[in-house]
Copies of this chain bind each other. A is one copy, B any other.
Amino acid sequence: MTRWVVGVDIGGTNLVVGLVPVDGGPAEGVRSRATQSERGADAAVVDIVRLSEDAIAEVLERHSATRADIAGVGIGCPGPLDLDAGVVIATPNLGWANYPIRKRIADGLNLPASLDNDANCATYGEWWQGAGRGVQNLVGVTLGTGIGGGMIVDGRLVRGASGSAGELGHTTIDFTGRRCACGNYGCLEAYASGPNIAARAREGVAAGYESVLAELVGGDLTLITALTVYEALVLGDKYAHEVMNETAKILGAGIANAVNLLNPEVVVVVGGVTRAGDHLFGPLRSEVRRRAFPSAVEACRIVPGALPETAGVVGAAGIFVAEHLT
């Protein structure tokens, strides 16, 4: 009889839950809703428990299974986290602090629970069931409001001494560069996160570059987002193409660093920006090839994620399996 784990992916924008078979497989009963984190962590936990119970009911019925077949719940959440204590220390994207998220969700569902950060979960999901199946060394890069990272080394997720390993977005690629929200200067995230892609596009349009971007936002440049850049790209806009190309080159410098340091078999890039497809991956791969060592480049595939909506859910569940069931 198949057993199941609930996967919970807590994002700044959406909560997503689903059930994943203990032995691996796609998420089932997936559902989501807006996080609305400003209502506080307790309200989000109520939503998560409700979504999870709905997902559990649906999957149990479909598979004629019983509640005893639910082994636990894996939770992914933006950090920084105290992994041992299961606590959100302080999450700028959510506004929660010192909140015992693991215990609250475990109590709400009456299930054992695990907690890890969102980028680790997405990375683990793509490694366990997605674009990186079967390899021993993998780097995951999550492109969104921020840039996150996760690493599998010799078949194991790397957490580091205090659970904060994988912060690829806050590696310096320009030591005299622009200030990042984290306080550092010249971070990868300060150039290539969604909002910073949009900011760079806005700057160019404001400076007079010819582009369909202004039209797409009805002339209000403040409305330009990374998605608008993608839309302009699809319409064949030359300037949007330039912005994406520059983004890919900057990302390429950061990813080349991870390739030279970790020599992975796969770099899997996930997040909305990857919809740009070859417009992103073409120049990205070229830049990594230009910068990293040939032996490391030859050993490495750079690919988009295979689980676009559910990598975090699948990975959160997978980490529960690894921690509690193996």
Complex copy number for this chain: 2
Q: Which one of B163, B254, B258, B291 lies within 8 Å of A184 (CB-CB)?
A: B291
Asked if B293 and A160 make an inter-chain contact with CB atoms under 8 angstroms apart, the answer reads: no
A209 shortest CB reach to chain B, Å: 20
Q: Which one of B154, B257, B264, B290 lies within 8 Å of A171 (CB-CB)?
A: B257
In chain A, positions 215-272 with a C-beta closer than 8 Å to chain B are 249-250, 253-254, 256-258, 260-265
Q: Does A185 have its Cβ within 8 Å of any Cβ on chain B?
A: yes
CA distance A159 to B296 in the complex (A): 11
Given A153-B158, A160-B264, A184-B291: A253 touches B175 (CB 8 Å cut-off): yes
CA distance A184 to B293 in the complex (A): 9
Q: Does A176 have its Cβ within 8 Å of any Cβ on chain B?
A: yes
Q: Does A136 have its Cβ within 8 Å of any Cβ on chain B?
A: yes
A253 shortest CB reach to chain B, Å: 4
Asked if A263 and B164 make an inter-chain contact with CB atoms under 8 angstroms apart, the answer reads: yes
Number of interface residues of A (CB under 8 A): 56
Asked if A161 and B293 make an inter-chain contact with CB atoms under 8 angstroms apart, the answer reads: no
Asked if B175 and A299 make an inter-chain contact with CB atoms under 8 angstroms apart, the answer reads: no
Contacting residues, chain B, for A153 (C-beta < 8 A): 153-154, 158
Contact with B along A86-97 (1 / 0, CB 8 A): 000100000000
CA distance A174 to B191 in the complex (A): 13
- Between A and B, 8 residue pairs with Cβ closer than 8 Å are A160-B299, A161-B264, A161-B296, A171-B257, A172-B256, A174-B176, A175-B253, A258-B261
7 closest A-B pairs by CB? A160-B263, A162-B299, A165-B263, A171-B257, A167-B260, A175-B253, A161-B299
**Besides A161-B264, A161-B300, A258-B261, 7 new A-B residue pairs in contact (Cβ under 8 A), listed by A number:** A153-B154, A164-B299, A167-B261, A172-B173, A172-B254, A173-B174, A182-B293
